[in-house]
Amino acid sequence: MIVENLRSIGHRIVEAVWRIGFASRFFFMILLYSGTSFRRFHLTVKELFYSGVMSLIIIMVASMFVGMVLGLQGYETLKRYGSESALGSLVALSLVRELGPVLAALLFASRAGSAMTAEIGLMKATEQISAMEMMAINPLARLIAPRFWAGVISMPLLSALFSATGVFGGYVVGVVLIGVDYGSFWSQMQASVDFQHDIMNGMIKSFVFGIAVTAIALFEGYDAPPTAEGVSHATTRTVVQSSLTILFLDFILTAFMFQGE
């Protein structure tokens, strides 16, 4: 009985380490076979459409609401200290530094990442990937790498859109509906948001998240057991793992970028 348990624990650990090793090799193989996704750029453009353009609506709508909530809650708190004029900097800083990159990446993981996993997993289950290998087409170069680069390119763009629309949402609630002064809203915002320190660091964050989310999604799809159940589990794992990875990476990156002045 004890031996059985020990054996199963050991098996799981070995399995996990094995998977990590395979995942790292997979990641480097993607980078190695990336040439095709730039030489035949239309492959990447097609994936940009499916992962980037199709995520536009959810990103815009979500960011609008996030900005509006920030405007409302920020106003309620700042009103107590009589500094409603700082609403602009509160909304803009929280969006540009944290919420923009993180929420955009979380939405991207559940909107585009899960789709990538399901697509690749199903291709594997229906033996389309093996068929490609039979025709001497490298599936990594033809299928995986374009999806990877499409994700990496679209993530910063989506995050910039998220922040900009969110600031607009905060403006609508704060200035148009509640009546915070128009001038102080924008000028306080411009005085406190620094291009290098805030906007560029946010972009770097979203770039890192883009790499993490797409790499996880593609690996889960590629590694999924070729059954209906396997693909469904892999899709779930993609969303869970990439969400946790995003939040973890966000903590690490924030600790590096904003460690007090």
Stretch that binds other proteins, among 69-77, 184-192, 210-218, 234-242 (CB under 8 A): 184-192
148, 214 in Cβ contact below 8 A?
Answer: yes
Query: Between 31 and 200, whose beta carbon lies closer to other proteins?
Result: 200
What is the full DSSP assignment across 7-47?
A: HHHHHHHHHHHHHHHHHHHHHHHHHHTTHHHHHTHHHHHHH
Query: Between 33 and 168, whose beta carbon lies closer to other proteins?
Result: 168
Closest of 104, 112, 110 to residue 159, by C-alpha: 104
180, 75 in Cβ contact below 8 A?
Answer: yes
Whole-number Å distance between alpha carbons of 215 and 144: 9
Stretch that binds other proteins, among 42-50, 111-119, 214-222, 252-260 (CB under 8 A): 42-50
- Chain-centroid distance, C-alpha 194: 23
Query: Between 75 and 171, whose beta carbon lies closer to other proteins?
Result: 171
CA angle 189, 195, 196 (to 5 degrees): 140
Which residue in the set 96, 213, 218, 234 belongs to the binding site for other proteins (CB under 8 A)?
Answer: 96
Tokens, residue 241 = 């793992």
34 phi and psi, to 5 degrees? Answer: -75, -20
Applying CB under 8 A, does 45 fall inside the site for other proteins?
yes
Applying CB under 8 A, does 180 fall inside the site for other proteins?
no
Closest of 176, 12, 183, 199 to residue 98, by C-alpha: 199
Which residue in the set 80, 135, 136, 195 belongs to the binding site for other proteins (CB under 8 A)?
Answer: 195
Applying CB under 8 A, does 199 fall inside the site for other proteins?
yes
Judged by CB under 8 A, the number of residues near other proteins is 32
| Type of residue at 169 | G
Which residue in the set 1, 5, 39, 42 belongs to the binding site for other proteins (CB under 8 A)?
Answer: 42
Query: Between 129 and 143, whose beta carbon lies closer to other proteins?
Result: 143
Tokens, residue 230 = 């396997």
User: By CB under 8 A, what part of segment 69-88 binds other proteins?
Assistant: 83
Whole-number Å distance between alpha carbons of 30 and 64: 35
Query: Between 151 and 156, whose beta carbon lies closer to other proteins?
Result: 156
Which residue in the set 43, 66, 92, 103 belongs to the binding site for other proteins (CB under 8 A)?
Answer: 92
Applying CB under 8 A, does 261 fall inside the site for other proteins?
yes
Query: Between 124 and 147, whose beta carbon lies closer to other proteins?
Result: 147
Which residue in the set 62, 99, 143, 167 belongs to the binding site for other proteins (CB under 8 A)?
Answer: 167
225 phi and psi, to 5 degrees? Answer: -60, 135
User: By CB under 8 A, what part of segment 206-245 binds other proteins?
Assistant: none
Q: Report the interface residues with other proteins, using CB under 8 A.
A: 42, 45-46, 48-49, 52-53, 56, 83, 92, 96, 154, 156-158, 160-161, 163-165, 167, 186, 189-191, 193-195, 198-199, 203, 261
